[in-house]
Amino acid sequence: MFNDRVRAAQPTDPVHTVRLILKPIRAEDVDELVLLHSDPIVARWTGPWSRPSIETWTTDMAERWNVDGVGKWLAHDRSSGSLVGRGGFTRIDLDGEAVLELGWAVRDALTGRGYATEIGQAALDWAAAFFPQLPVVSFTEVHNLASRAVMHRLGLRERKRTRRIPETIFTMAPLPMREGVA
């Protein structure tokens, strides 16, 4: 257990929140990710996706858990077991510095219920326990107001705008440095 909200003894253990179980993405999760990324709103912000691109991404994400010790989770409802979404981190190099990039995607039918914030807060708690030395950042398109609101609720504040892909401007919001982190 790493705090009162979420529980996990090891970085790759499932993370339990009040409503969710977050499990590291594995190669066999392709079908659920195809379902998630076929939702029109999810596809709008994270796509375009095809089954082959999801298979490649899923294999890469499972490998990231092995190599980096960090990655994305699938989020399932604790009571029904149904897919809620995905979220967590990707370890990236940002201007020569290793950082954890926080992201999330929630099924269209479940948006507006606080799931993205719950996934994000669990991820921040997890990072504080297992990777306290790494800064956390999050990116979203400047016109993605829902994700910007989640970022704000999580304590992430816009620092600058950047182009991550040529035609889209993103906002980059770092989490203020945690106490005791150099």
Compute the distance between CA of residue 75 and CA of residue 119 in angstroms, rounded to an integer: 8
At 8 the pLDDT is 59
Whether the CB-CB separation of 105 and 46 falls below 8 Å is answered with yes
15-136: CATH architecture: 3-Layer(aba) Sandwich (3.40)
Single pTM value for the model: 0.84
- CA distances from residue 32 to 58, 127, 140 in whole angstroms, order as listed: 11, 25, 23
At 35 the pLDDT is 85
pLDDT tens-digit readout, 67-85: 999 999 999 999 999 999 9
Residues of the chain with pLDDT under 50: 1-2, 178-182
- CA distances from residue 51 to 15, 30, 161, 173 in whole angstroms, order as listed: 27, 8, 31, 31
Instruction: Give the residue extent of every domain in the chain.
Output: 15-136
> How many other β-carbons are positioned within 10 Å of the β-carbon of residue 148?
18
